[in-house]
């Protein structure tokens, strides 16, 4: 099973002017456009590209490290435009985010004139990887002779989808000047990149075990209650149904972990900006037809489903994910689906009540 990792360092909103003053400089900073390279302290910076990634990395032992949350990667080309050598120390190992030492990201000011004593950026969380190395990031100190260039990537949480202008702040430790470099660039939320994502009805093979999401529907789920008898959920749920077909030549263990709703086990539904909770039922209540821990013999298949709270109305697409370790395999199920809220009609039994 992949090791599930993630480490986020959030910088609390603060007055940018106070941070600038703490660097010992009394001049106002300038926000530059990404249309042209920006030079400060004899070092030139150019925002190249950006992308949203789901990262799966390999550590020094060969283990797979999975970061299930999407990350925004911003690429920057760094050129030594001065006459002397410049040593680039990548800031990726930083344990604290600061204006003086690490790249930061925030939505651009909405007015052309900025009162730096009052302006408070709403920082987008920077991300440091807890384990594993992403080969797009520079890890070692690099000496740049005059005219030499390198490209590096910096990781952040995914901005809100309505953001259209972002500012990348490049700290003084990455150049020879006193002030951070501010570069504003256009932002339009891109399609995520990463491991294969399948669709509803696709048969996904895991070494002889086939997993297929057969249906995603908004419905009232039928319940079995040991004390009160049969009934239905009080509210409609998002029900994700799937089939597991074992053709591996041996029995496999299946543990759906439906009762673990903490998010540490079992399936999850996630959009770029939110995760959606599995439905919590009382201890004596079970969705009718939902499976429990069992063995699936060779040549057999089982049908099962997971229930989630309905996503917010702003969600248009989401992804269902399930660690394949729940059916004795490695890897992860990823099935994308579109979502549109529906008016779900109550079952007749609830209408009568």
Give 174-221 pLDDT, tens digit per residue: 988 888 899 999 999 998 898 889 999 999 999 999 999 999 999 999
- The answer to whether position 128 is within a domain reads yes
Is 197 a domain residue? Answer: no
Dist CA 15 CA 307 (whole Å): 44
Which residue in 141, 171, 169, 176 sits closest to 42, CA to CA?
176
Which of the listed residues 122, 153, 186 is the one where a domain comes to its end? 186
**CA angle (107, 158, 48) in 5-degree steps:** 70
List Cβ neighbours of 259 (8 Å cut-off, separation of 6 or more): none
Residue at a domain's end among 159, 186, 213: 186
Residue 159 sits in the same domain as residue 26 = yes
The residue segments making up the domain with residue 158 are 3-186
State the total domains in the chain. 2
- Give me the mean pLDDT over the 144-151 stretch: 96
Residues 257 and 171 occupy one common structural domain: no
Q: How many residues does the chain have?
A: 353
Residues 293 and 170 in one domain: no
Of all residues in the chain, the percent with pLDDT exceeding 90 is 52
- Specify whether 35 is located in the same domain as 108: yes
Based on the fold, state whether residues 280 and 177 are members of the same structural domain.
no
Tell me: do 128 and 209 sit in the same domain.
Answer: no
Q: Is residue 353 part of a domain?
A: no
Confidence of residue 96 (pLDDT cuts 50, 70, 90): confident
Give the largest CA-CA distance in the chain.
84
Structure tokens at 13: 């909103």
pLDDT digits (tens, 9 = 90+) for 67-92: 878 899 999 999 999 999 999 999 88
Q: Across the chain, how many H-helices and E-strands are there?
A: 2, 26
| Predicted structure pTM score | 0.76
- Give residue for tokens 């930061």: 104
């Amino acid at each position: 099973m992949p090791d599930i990792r993630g480490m986020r360092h959030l910088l609390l909103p603060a007055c940018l002017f106070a941070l600038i003053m703490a660097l010992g400089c009394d001049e106002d900073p300038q926000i530059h456009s990404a249309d042209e390279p920006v030079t400060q302290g004899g070092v030139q910076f150019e925002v190249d590209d950006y992308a949203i990634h789901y990262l799966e990395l390999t550590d020094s032992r060969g283990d797979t490290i999975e970061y299930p949350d999407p990350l925004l990667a911003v690429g920057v080309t760094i050129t030594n435009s001065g006459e002397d050598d410049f040593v680039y120390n990548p800031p990726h190992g930083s344990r604290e985010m600061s204006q003086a030492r690490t790249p930061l990201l925030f939505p651009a000011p909405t007015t052309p004139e900025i009162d730096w004593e009052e302006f408070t950026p709403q920082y987008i969380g920077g991300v440091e990887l807890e384990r594993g190395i992403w080969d797009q990031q520079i890890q070692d100190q690099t000496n740049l002779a005059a005219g030499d260039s390198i490209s590096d990537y910096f990781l952040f949480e995914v901005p809100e989808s309505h953001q259209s202008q972002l500012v990348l702040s490049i700290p003084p430790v990455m150049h020879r000047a006193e002030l951070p470099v501010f570069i504003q660039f256009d932002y339009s939320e891109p399609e995520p990149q990463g491991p294969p994502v399948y669709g509803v009805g696709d048969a996904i093979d895991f070494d002889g075990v086939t997993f297929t999401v057969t249906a995603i529907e908004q419905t009232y789920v039928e319940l079995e209650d040991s004390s009160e008898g049969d009934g239905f959920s009080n509210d409609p749920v998002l029900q994700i149904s799937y089939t597991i077909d074992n053709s591996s030549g041996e029995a496999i263990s299946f543990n759906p972990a439906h009762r673990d709703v903490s998010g540490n086990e079992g399936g999850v539904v996630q959009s770029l900006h939110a995760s959606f909770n599995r439905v919590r039922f009382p201890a004596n209540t079970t969705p009718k037809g939902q499976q429990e821990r069992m063995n699936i013999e060779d040549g057999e298949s089982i049908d099962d489903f997971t229930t989630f709270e309905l996503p917010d109305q702003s969600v248009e697409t989401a992804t269902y994910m399930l660690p394949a370790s729940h059916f004795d395999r490695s890897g992860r199920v990823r099935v994308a689906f579109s979502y549109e809220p529906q008016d779900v009609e109550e079952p007749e039994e609830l209408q009568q009540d």
